[in-house]
Amino acid sequence: MMYPHPIIAKEGWPYLALVGAVTLLVHYLGGIVWSWPLWIIFIFVLQFFRDPQRIAALGRDLVLSPADGRIVVVEVANDPYAGREALKISVFMNVFNVHSNRSAVNGTVKEIQYFPGKFVNADLDKASTENERNAVVIDANGQIVTLVQVAGLIARRILCYIHVGDRLKAGERYGFIRFGSRVDVYLPLTAEPLVSVGDKVFATNTALARIPGLD
């Protein structure tokens, strides 16, 4: 599932083509006086779909952040997708964050569960159970790690490109959420959190936690 990181996410090209064509047409017909709002929209879409390369955080037994954003939850909670009590760490992504999602660990995909749902503000706790979401359960050297893509207030499409049985590498791109959203990470209770609520994190660059014995 790796791809050559073309700086702009592949999911964004249809939007950029449409907005760019309309902007150029209006600019040609009416000049900058009429086209400047469209140029602002084009720049916004361009920055939203940026997808830079990332270098994994260094260290042993690390769980990497699957998304850019801000930590909104660090607590013990029920993991309904793997049927256990777990350490839950949630990353909220606003519309200015990179929205590519990347694997937090090396491991094998054991289960994928998709749930249609609402589109309430992803910053709220109830988004984890009420919003549209896609859960990926990963076996990481005997440790279970669950990654849940959660749609947000204006998000309308969760994209997940992996399948049950796939082998993932930590930092590997596996999905995308269009516009504001969040990713919930459920870890074994033995995990030691390395972040706190309010911290800013970056996909792959930032370690969320450490799990002893993680491959």
Q: Is 35 a catalytic residue?
A: no
Q: 77 to each of 83, 92, 97, how far by Cα in Å?
A: 11, 17, 26
Buried/exposed code over 33-64 (b: 16+ C-beta within 10 A; e: otherwise):
eebeebbeebeebeebbebeebeebeeebbbb
Of the residues 35, 103, 128, 181, which is catalytic?
181
Look at the alpha carbons of 170, 171, 177, 179 in this order and tell me if their dihedral is positive or negative.
Answer: positive
Residue 30 CA to residue 34 CA, distance in Å, equals: 6
CA atoms within 13 A on the CB side of 184: 32
103 in Cβ contact with 172 (< 8 Å): yes
Length of the chain: 215
Coil, helix or strand at residue 44: helix
138: Cα separation from own chain's centroid: 16
Residue 51 CA to residue 145 CA, distance in Å, equals: 24
Active site residues: 181
